[in-house]
Amino acid sequence: MASSSLVVDTSVFIEYLRAPNKTKTKLFSISDKTSLCISTITLYELLMGAVNSEKQNDIELLTSDLTILSFNKKQQ
């Protein structure tokens, strides 16, 4: 069970996706006990930057288990 939540910004994902050594990225260093969230805007930005099917698949794999925070709806 997660002990805390963290909303991750686009730049953190981009750093991870571009890094030759993923273990040295901010995203990799976040505790497994932290529940990660992503805004719909961040998801949109990542998908717009995914210019081919391989990159689209990378985004899908990276975000599939994250909580997606709606842009226009209050979270409960």
pLDDT in tens, 10-68: 999 999 999 999 999 999 999 889 999 999 999 999 999 999 999 999 999 999 999 99
Q: Flag whether pLDDT at 1 surpasses 60.
A: no
Going along the chain, which residue ranges are E strands? 4-7, 34-39, 67-69
pLDDT for res 53: 96
Which range marks the domain in which residue 30 is found?
A: 4-69
Q: Which pair of tokens denotes residue 47?
A: 């998908």
The whole-model pTM stands at 0.83
pLDDT for res 71: 76
Contacts of 74 (CB under 8 A, 6+ apart): none
pLDDT for res 38: 96
Query: Is residue 74 situated within a structural domain?
Result: no
Q: Which pair of tokens denotes residue 32?
A: 């497994």
Q: How many domains does the chain have?
A: 1
Query: Is residue 76 situated within a structural domain?
Result: no
